[in-house]
Chain A
């Protein structure tokens, strides 16, 4: 929401030279978040009044003139205008101190002696009124140096002034400032003149004629562009129905700066008395008083406003609203001023032709009813939507948007002004259902004050009267105010001591009270408590608890002034979760082992993975996804990791990634939907998965990933048992490589080498192989870690022997080790495979395995002879069981 400083000044007196940054800071610190601010004048920086004092035809372009422009004593920092060789028309007397610049101009209406809007280097203009703003620089136009621009209204955001000016000939036009000032209805003068003068055209005209435009005057100053516009974050207004207007913000500023707030005019006295009350020509019926607690309809006849007053247009434009037509502008103006949305119907368009009465009915729409809204869209309605209807059809969506058929136009003669209060939830539902968010709906859904509509009506009538050229011609025929008993705000008992305790320090009692009173709260002090009653504009929903009162005081005291006090706690170390420890241990190990941690969003498209037997079956599914394909939540971390291999395969010859995150399984998990509820949320365990990709064979890759499984679990304090799964076909994995991981007898995960099919899909070379491993951390966290016991160091030396054998490919390592251990006595301490070899010197279908064997006795030093005897038994058994040949 944009807020104008000059508009605020209507309600609160601020120092003339108030620093916008200071105001922005103070508002941010006590009221709402200011996202930014802009001086209106900044848009006219480096633009001055210039006077054309000489013209010559451009040597190389028929349609262009080279103009000599007197820019008075205007200066541009870091820029020196060269002295012109062209001679000014001698009829102009130019003071010696004035700067004269050459500007190429294509305007058909440019004349000697004309006062023009001159943009100098550094100004930001919109070329020919189109595209983005560009910074003006010294340039050459068809061989002639050019030091600025004589602007058209469209080029510097003064479209109105340009439109008011008659065209001269065919072709581009420039802005004639002299004309603009001779017809002051087109121009607004910011805050320079008081409200009363600004709204009195005669008086204003007199003042302007006295004013002389002279070359060099800054354009912003001349045009009265002295406003500052603040951009307020709408999100920070979510809970404040009262702040969606200049008046609401002014009320807070009055408290922040300790100023008096000017009250809105009292409707009954100043407005209604001016209007004749005629016979009622319309009726209002509210069918659902809960959804529409108040509806005020005011009939005004003979409304004739030729044009929206310039000052009003100016203010609306300043806050980013495009002026549309007088009545629409007035209703918008009142909404941005007091925060109450106003809608105006053309009475003739909603009149019952039989009775000549206009009936306004507030009711629920009927299913299937249609209405064309002001934005030109046809909306199909149902019973959940509250509408304003005439005797037969809906004419507006209550609190959201008016209908196209019932709106005002240039021909409108009689109007019905609607100022109502609607149920916030109903407005919000309608707005959400139809995807239609408007300035009105945004305000209604915050729960507006039911006491606000009469004030808004009064202001609308006042503005209509002031804007009409002849105020005697029209009259308000009557006002109908339909409302249920309006609830009186409830008082909230709160002790001063409670406020101090929640803030956390001693407070000045008098000032605290003054803050509340300044914001419109009434404070009744009793011996024990304060009975604080919020004003009607805060009582709709926003303020109801003692804590809410604490907030009002805290923010206006400025939270930054609260003295720090650290809470005191008992000395007691916090419990640490198993997950936390596992995460640290396992991630530390993996990063040390060369793995990169990655993170992926959980959304995926199972179709991509189904052909690999991954992400099959039911998924937890997003109902309202951004990408309709990726609307399923992952069941495994593997797809993400495979994508990483695909993405990075050209970055490095070997890749190693892991991810730690939740996966989502569509069956009941451990978290309940509510405390003690039976219904459970989907199972969503934390999982660790890793992927490795390297230029090694499948056997080696399998050994690596198994080694990783054991090592990562050991790092977390667990022993591991790996079991090769029964041979089954899985399209993603190489047959015979799928293994499961268990610790203390509990299965916690598994791994495999990927299939050639998947490898090819990921685009890695034939030489490379990929392996994956997944561990269910939730399950692992439930297993107690192994207790490690120290084994005393051996007292006696070991005897080492190496053994290399050649065996058939069909013999597994597991069988060989079993044979070795079976043949040896207790003296065999360890068996370590250190080489596998196939190829030169080894027969086809055979492999060579090489072992380090270590023999040791716990009670004495072994002799070589004893070890040799062990070796002989082992070799004999290997020969017998596996037809092994010993390699020398």
Chain B
């Protein structure tokens, strides 16, 4: 019986192919698949007389074959009816599927998060409305410290704290919009203990007028490593490795002294200017404007964690040391795409969002 079916299949397929008009195809259809006397129908009728086992095996296969042959007929039919009549203009513009995009900063942040998680870092987070303790005092910036002037701060209050401020005057503990992601250093030490490797991406705020180069709200990504005998050499190696991953081997980095109250020693990393190729001058001999002729662009601050900061995070500075670094990912995005206005990042303008993919 199986042989019989196989034979019908071969014959039918050939006949369908050979049909040269719709009417001829119709005859083929009746001859093989017709409900009353079609060749395949006749064979299937005989199914009742074979053993149950054989029926279970052949039944579904024959049914599938019938559907397949019907479909072949349909396809051939549409070919015969339309052959030569369908014209395709293959120069029409492609239709793209409708998709959205991540914010360009999310894109870069994820790239960096992935890079650091691959190196075994935890991703830590903390509040944006922060206490003065975490934002300043714990980071070795007591209220008299001139470094507090380096960061113009937004102070915030709630209705409750407002009453308190009125009552206690300047002495009342205040809340701030965090000026950097560094308060999460302390929170991370408290939460995870040591040894610790984490990065801290987050939005920070500074009270300054907004223009193309300055924003009062911005992203920062901070890294923190604490273990026994962490040194400047470890910091240098880690930073160089990550800059290489980020920019490729052609970008050079240099390190120079800096000042941050929460690190000692403090350093800053520069990357070579991509506009003038570190030469400080552009083709016509003029001073490069992007790097102001220095050949280098400031990229991030870093240093060994100040012993007071470790202590405030509950870590014994006699046993442990650490390094920390921080930078603004917006800078990376701006360099990558040649964006010249900070404000676009917060605009929600589709004409901007659709470009940074």
Contact = CB atoms under 8 A, between A and B. Distances in A.
Interface of A: 21, 24-25, 28-37, 235-240, 424-425, 428, 432, 445-446, 501-505, 545, 547-548, 550-551, 554-555, 559-560, 562-567, 569, 572-577, 579-580, 584, 587, 590-602, 618, 620-626, 633, 640, 643-644, 647-648, 651-652, 655-657, 660-662, 664, 666, 669, 671, 673-675, 681-682, 684
B225 A567 contact: yes
A591 B99 contact: yes
Contacts of B117: 574, 576
19 contacts: A31-B257, A35-B294, A236-B258, A424-B144, A545-B264, A550-B265, A551-B257, A554-B267, A555-B256, A559-B255, A574-B198, A579-B125, A580-B113, A591-B102, A599-B346, A600-B346, A633-B129, A655-B350, A673-B175
Given A565-B233, A640-B348, A682-B129, A555 B240 contact: no
Given A36-B293, A673-B173, 13 more contacts: A31-B257, A428-B149, A504-B236, A563-B233, A569-B120, A573-B120, A574-B120, A574-B123, A580-B113, A602-B128, A620-B158, A624-B154, A648-B350
A425 B121 contact: no
A319 B219 CA distance: 36
A682 B158 contact: yes
B326 interface: no
B126 A238 contact: no
B129 A238 contact: no
B294 A36 contact: yes
* Most chain A beta carbons < 10 A, residue from B232, B267, B347: B232
Given A564-B236, A594-B99, A682-B129, A601 B256 contact: no
A239 B100 contact: no
Given A31-B257, A599-B103, A651 B173 contact: no
A562 B102 contact: no
B105 A599 contact: yes
Contacts, number: 261
Contact of A555 (B120, B230, B257): B257
B127 A566 contact: no
Of the listed residues B113, B158, B174, B177, the one surrounded by the most CB atoms of chain A closer than 10 A to its CB is B158
B217 A602 contact: yes
A578 B64 CA distance: 48
A597 B106 CA distance: 9
Chain A interface SS verdict (over half): mixed
B348 A238 contact: no
B98 interface: yes
Interface residues of B, number: 98
A559 B127 contact: no
A92 to B, nearest CB: 36
Nearest to B104: A597
B150 interface: yes
Given A504-B231, A504-B234, A598-B103, A555 B265 contact: yes
Contacts of B314: 675
Given A36-B294, A675-B190, A656 B100 contact: yes
Given A36-B292, A502-B304, A560-B254, A622 B232 contact: no
Nearest to B103: A597
A576 B192 CA distance: 12
Contacts of B198: 574
Contacts of A577: 122-123, 125
A151 to B, nearest CB: 23
Contact of B154 (A236, A573, A622): A622
B229 A648 contact: no
B222 interface: no
B158 A597 contact: no
Interface of B is mostly: mixed
B231 A576 contact: no
Nearest to A658: B100
B209 interface: yes
B233 A551 contact: no
Contact of B146 (A34, A424, A625, A648): A424
B29 interface: no
Nearest to A640: B348
A432 B144 CA distance: 12
Contact of A681 (B123, B130, B150, B347): B130
Contact of A562 (B144, B149, B236, B293): B236
B259 A596 contact: no
Contacts of A239: 147, 259, 261
Interface in B154-174: 154-160, 162, 173-174
Nearest to A234: B150
A643 to B, nearest CB: 7
Q: Which 10 A-B pairs have the closest CB atoms?
A: A504-B233, A504-B231, A551-B265, A564-B237, A673-B131, A644-B348, A666-B158, A555-B257, A595-B100, A597-B103
A656 B348 CA distance: 11
Contacts of B134: 673-674
B297 to A, nearest CB: 12
A33 B216 contact: no
Nearest to B313: A675
Contact of A24 (B160, B294, B346): B294
B216 A601 contact: yes
Contacts of A572: 120
B103 A30 contact: no
A598 B350 CA distance: 9
B227 A567 contact: yes
Contacts of B257: 29-32, 236, 551, 554-555, 559
Contacts of B101: 591, 596-597
Given A31-B257, A238-B259, A599-B345, A567 B133 contact: no
Contacts of A238: 146-147, 150, 259
Contact of B157 (A564, A621, A651, A684): A621
B348 A622 contact: no
B190 A574 contact: no
B238 A580 contact: no
Contacts of B105: 599
B293 A594 contact: no
A554 B259 contact: no
A818 B103 CA distance: 43
Interface string B238-264: 101100000000000011111101001
A752 B316 CA distance: 53
B129 A35 contact: no
Given A596-B101, A601-B216, A656-B100, A566 B349 contact: no
A554 B131 contact: no
A191 B122 CA distance: 58
B265 A446 contact: no
B203 interface: yes
B321 interface: yes
